[in-house]
A and B are shown apart, each in its own frame.
Chain A
């Protein structure tokens, strides 16, 4: 046997400093705290979402259960658990039961590597407000998230029915496509932070948040995170207008509750990751961070900033849902593959080139000058090019002036004018025409009345 380096030395290589020394009971407390926080955040987010969407739609929202309706989701959850659990005859039973578990377990795991705060003192022990960290923590988040998708996909397949299958296929295709864009948006952060460990990334944002430096990365991440968790306007896997309830159509009772839990925890997860990577993690926002020599960046205060940022991002999710209509599936895929991914690739090349130039000793001012020059060139081009294209459009528009005139009874049926057409003055005659109109309209409007 050869002499191996001592175990402690091996550990030092692939371990982030400050982790791995906690006693077991601290670890147990942290695990339990993460579990409780995530469940509470889910309960909170559901009511929060319903209340905010209600405000946006001039409704009242839930206001019955508990103080001002804030316990509504708790009551709903209990009710959901007590409902009858149905397993369809055509379902693949084992996979059908497994799917919600596969969806919900990874959702809980991600918070293990999210830093909630700096070092604090807990029952006399100094420890970080983060369960663990590895040099590849952010990639670990991606890996866990990609396992979670299996839950939705298997739910769709195992239900043995058409709509869930389509929903499952959609969700997997969607997550694969948007995970690429998401992964690419991380690269800029890695280049700046020089590490993939979450605590290291938060440390790197002491002076400036990466969301401010890497605006394109941040925007790409924000878009792809909505796609990743299947939320409106990217909620095509459960589009109720097309697929009943998508992959979840056949599920009921506690299994459905687990999917619901997983979906909302995943929202919290991606928001927490956005906070960590782009919004300075647990660090206080600027004017506050300067107060009293950084008082608000120490002790338990950072929990407040962290969850404040997470809730702000959750509000963004809800805002989007209350504002935007659902995308068509092909437009959605085209957007992911033809816009988000090329944009982030181009941006990464830019960032990498800039980092390389800085590392090679090019002066920042020089870099700024060149960058400014390129920007100015693009700006000038954006003014000049439309001059040519617009003229061409004008020429095009002149030609098809020979449009068919407005025929108010095209196809023997009254039709409104198209946007370009003028309604000719029709002499009003009380005769056969009027009768025809009534009849056909009667058929049309009947069922909807």
Chain B
């Protein structure tokens, strides 16, 4: 708290006691401190990152209030806009619901941390209290041509060597990251056209245009419901394999029972639509399932009656059947 007061006093001094800046400081500074505390205490990593962003924006506003608009804006662009965003990106990608548990894993860690914190605070307070700061010069003297020129002058003048060294280190780090993640390509990368041709040559041509979408019906509208083939059998390829592996789909029996029930509710003559629907010739391979879902035409029965006359000349089976 004493640190904060010192900083506040200094801010108040340098701003020539302008009340506007005082008010701004006492609004922004507590917000920034709350952000910092929230970062430490929040359980979810995303909340922590958000609190940190609040602190950074607060600092940026204070910079701008202290006549350093360039620094403030760059603070937001670089830290809040880019670095925090990458942090969030990684946090979200790694674990959406990950929240820290509060169980102490190392015995006595909290007590040790408390002692260390007290020590650091005492150390900082003593150093800060004894520090002899030069008298503030004011931005007009420090950078007579304005912020941007002042920073550019220092960066590309007095500190150009340090600047270049930092740039070299950062580039080394970037190149290192690229080398570590680089994967040597064993074979040539296939072009989009080659991939398309391969799909027709090697894959099941029935799936060349993509797998059928899941079923959408009046009673059930979700990705876990298979679409129905014209003969009433559920098309298994229309349900995502991921859902099947997770066991998140509805078992076909339940689905079939549902269809029966709907068919009964609607009072549809069970034999009726089937004979119209099915091609007269050979049965499709999976036709024993028809016994279960066949009475169906369930959802498709309605549409068939509506649109049947329009559709049939066009669709292959209708034409062949007549």
Contact A449:B315 (CB < 8 A) given known A13-B139, A135-B148, A172-B88 = yes
Is B73 touching A4 in the complex (CB atoms < 8 A)?
no
Contact A14:B147 (CB < 8 A) given known A5-B138, A95-B46, A147-B76 = yes
How many residue pairs link A and B with beta carbons under 8 A? The number is: 165
Expressed in whole angstroms, the minimum distance between the Cβ of A345 and any Cβ of chain B is 14
Contacts A13-B143, A157-B96, A410-B200 given; 18 further ones with Cβ under 8 A?
A5-B138, A13-B146, A14-B69, A14-B139, A95-B50, A135-B147, A139-B74, A157-B92, A165-B96, A172-B85, A176-B85, A179-B81, A179-B82, A413-B206, A435-B282, A438-B279, A443-B231, A445-B317
B69, B82, B143, B284: most-surrounded residue (chain A CB, <10 A) = B69
Is B140 touching A435 in the complex (CB atoms < 8 A)?
no
Within 8 A of B (CB), among A144-195: 144, 146-147, 149-150, 153-154, 156-157, 160, 165, 168-169, 172-173, 175-176, 179, 183
| Chain B residues within an 8 Å CB radius of A418 | 197, 200
Contact A439:B76 (CB < 8 A) given known A444-B206, A447-B228 = no
B320 at interface by CB-CB < 8 Å: yes
Nearest to B228 among chain A residues (CB) is A447
Within 8 A of A (CB), among B70-98: 70, 73-74, 76-77, 80-82, 85-86, 88-89, 92-93, 96-97
A146, A160, A165: most-surrounded residue (chain B CB, <10 A) = A146
Is A9 touching B140 in the complex (CB atoms < 8 A)?
yes
Closest 3 CB pairs of A and B: A146-B81, A446-B230, A442-B317
Expressed in whole angstroms, the minimum distance between the Cβ of A50 and any Cβ of chain B is 26
Q: Supply 24 A–B pairs (Cβ within 8 Å), ascending by A.
A: A4-B16, A5-B138, A7-B16, A7-B18, A13-B144, A13-B145, A92-B46, A95-B47, A135-B148, A139-B74, A142-B77, A143-B60, A146-B82, A411-B204, A418-B200, A435-B282, A438-B316, A441-B316, A442-B315, A443-B229, A445-B316, A446-B229, A446-B317, A447-B227
Is A12 touching B70 in the complex (CB atoms < 8 A)?
no
A415 at interface by CB-CB < 8 Å: yes
| Chain B residues within an 8 Å CB radius of A4 | 14, 16, 136, 138
| Chain A residues within an 8 Å CB radius of B201 | 410
Interface residues on A, range: 35 or more
B212 at interface by CB-CB < 8 Å: yes
| Chain A residues within an 8 Å CB radius of B82 | 146, 176, 179
Is B70 touching A135 in the complex (CB atoms < 8 A)?
yes
Nearest to B278 among chain A residues (CB) is A442
- Residue of A183, A438, A443 near B230 (CB, 8 A) is A443
Interface residues on B, range: 35 or more
- Residue of B18, B86, B92, B311 near A168 (CB, 8 A) is B92
Is A139 touching B77 in the complex (CB atoms < 8 A)?
yes
With the chains together, A176 CA to B90 CA distance in Å?
14
Q: A-facing mask of B111-144, CB < 8 A → 1, else 0? A: 0000000000000000000000001101111011
- Residue of B92, B148, B282 near A439 (CB, 8 A) is B282
With the chains together, A405 CA to B139 CA distance in Å?
80
With the chains together, A304 CA to B141 CA distance in Å?
42
Expressed in whole angstroms, the minimum distance between the Cβ of A352 and any Cβ of chain B is 13
Is A149 touching B81 in the complex (CB atoms < 8 A)?
yes
- Interface, chain B (partner A; CB < 8 A): 13-14, 16, 18, 44, 46-47, 50, 53, 57, 60, 67, 69-70, 73-74, 76-77, 80-82, 85-86, 88-89, 92-93, 96-97, 135-136, 138-141, 143-148, 197, 200-201, 204-206, 212, 227-231, 235, 279, 281-282, 284, 311, 314-317, 320
Expressed in whole angstroms, the minimum distance between the Cβ of A387 and any Cβ of chain B is 24
Within 8 A of B (CB), among A180-224: 183, 196
Nearest to A11 among chain B residues (CB) is B67
With the chains together, A196 CA to B147 CA distance in Å?
12
Contact A153:B135 (CB < 8 A) given known A135-B147, A443-B230 = no
Expressed in whole angstroms, the minimum distance between the Cβ of A437 and any Cβ of chain B is 8
Nearest to A161 among chain B residues (CB) is B96
Expressed in whole angstroms, the minimum distance between the Cβ of B95 and any Cβ of chain A is 11
A150, A196, A418: most-surrounded residue (chain B CB, <10 A) = A150
Is A169 touching B47 in the complex (CB atoms < 8 A)?
no
Nearest to A449 among chain B residues (CB) is B315
A2 at interface by CB-CB < 8 Å: yes
| Chain B residues within an 8 Å CB radius of A443 | 206, 229-231, 284
A254 at interface by CB-CB < 8 Å: no
With the chains together, A449 CA to B74 CA distance in Å?
58
Expressed in whole angstroms, the minimum distance between the Cβ of A378 and any Cβ of chain B is 28
